[in-house]
């Protein structure tokens, strides 16, 4: 079933997402960085927000939940860790399927940024919401998990159909691209940089990306193939080395 995804900027570099199941008109907010911005976007489009789908507990993803609940009576679902900061009406874990009208969203366990982080994938719509696990040309900081956990999470996303449109929750592409070019000389990456530069110069969104483009150019997915990490004992360690290099990157 097709869906419409409306993205809008919020806070300094977050994206908010409203996703509508076109068969029924039912709409969910995927994370709520800013309740006021989400309500304004919904009203501008004449949408009622029936659900909030949270990817993880961080305040820049959950702090607007209450505003959508108050304005629309939205039902909030997400991983149990969200309860650290906000109430949940329904708990989701990896392997669950969340139905938004006629669209089924597979809940993928994608921990590592936070331990309980989840992503949402609709095979029929060809869309994934990857929260702070996977970004255009980047990935989230590893605040709570281990390299093995994070690498497995990226593997789960990398296994989605290559044409899947992946929506990460931040616009970090300018910095991600500078880092990627500093560690990887792949022709696919250089070609992508040429395609991205006009968008970045114009301040336009570089979200969504596709899984196929990320497989070809994302330095974290390519970690085992990069010179800075090729000597790692295993792929998770290669990932950890690239993650550490990005954490220290001042480009």
Residue 195 exposure: Cα atoms within 13 Å on the Cβ side: 11
Write 82-86 long-range contacts (CB < 8 A, 24+): 82/54, 82/56, 82/57, 83/57, 84/57, 85/57, 85/59, 86/57, 86/62
31 binding partner (options Fe ion, Zn ion, none; Cβ < 5 to 8 Å by kind): none
Chain residues 118-157 in contact with Fe ion, contact rule CB under 5 A:
132
Among residues 46, 27, 36, the alpha carbon closest in space to that of 9 is found at 36
Nearest residue to 240 (alpha-carbon basis) of 250, 226, 115: 226
Question: Residue 58 or residue 222: which is nearer to Zn ion going by CB?
Answer: 58
Contacting residues toward Zn ion, per CB under 5 A = 58, 132
How many residues belong to the site for Fe ion (CB under 5 A)? 2
Out of 41, 60, 214, 235, point to the residue binding Fe ion (CB under 5 A).
60
What 3-state class would DSSP assign to 183? helix
Q: How far is the CB of 15 from Fe ion (least distance, A)?
A: 10
Catalytic annotation present for 58: yes
Nearest approach, Cβ of residue 169 and Fe ion (Å): 5
Nearer to Fe ion, 132 or 171 (CB): 132
Active site residues: 56, 58, 60-61, 113, 132, 170
Which residues of the chain form contacts with Fe ion (CB under 5 A)? 60, 132
């Amino acid at each position: 079933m097709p869906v419409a995804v409306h993205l809008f900027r919020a806070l300094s570099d977050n994206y908010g997402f409203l996703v509508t199941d076109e068969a029924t008109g039912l709409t969910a907010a995927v994370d709520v960085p800013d309740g006021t911005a989400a309500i304004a976007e919904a009203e501008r489009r004449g949408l009622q927000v029936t659900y909030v789908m949270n990817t993880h507990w961080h305040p820049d993803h959950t702090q607007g939940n209450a505003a959508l609940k108050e304005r629309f009576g939205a039902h909030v679902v997400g991983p149990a860790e969200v309860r650290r900061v906000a109430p949940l009406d329904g708990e989701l874990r990896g392997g669950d399927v969340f139905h938004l009208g006629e669209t089924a969203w597979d809940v993928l366990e994608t921990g590592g940024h936070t331990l309980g982080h989840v992503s949402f994938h609709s095979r029929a719509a060809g869309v994934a919401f990857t929260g702070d696990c996977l970004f255009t040309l980047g990935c989230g900081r590893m605040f709570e998990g281990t390299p093995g956990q994070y690498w497995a999470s990226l593997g789960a996303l990398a296994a989605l159909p290559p044409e899947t449109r992946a929506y990460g929750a931040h616009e970090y592409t300018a910095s991600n691209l500078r880092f990627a070019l500093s560690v990887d000389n792949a022709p696919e990456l250089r070609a992508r940089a040429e395609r991205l530069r006009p968008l970045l110069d114009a301040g336009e969104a570089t979200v969504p990306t596709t899984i196929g483009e990320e497989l070809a150019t994302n330095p974290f997915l390519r970690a085992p193939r990069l010179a800075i990490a090729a000597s790692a004992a295993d792929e998770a360690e290669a990932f950890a080395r690239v993650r550490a290099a990005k954490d220290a990157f001042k480009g």
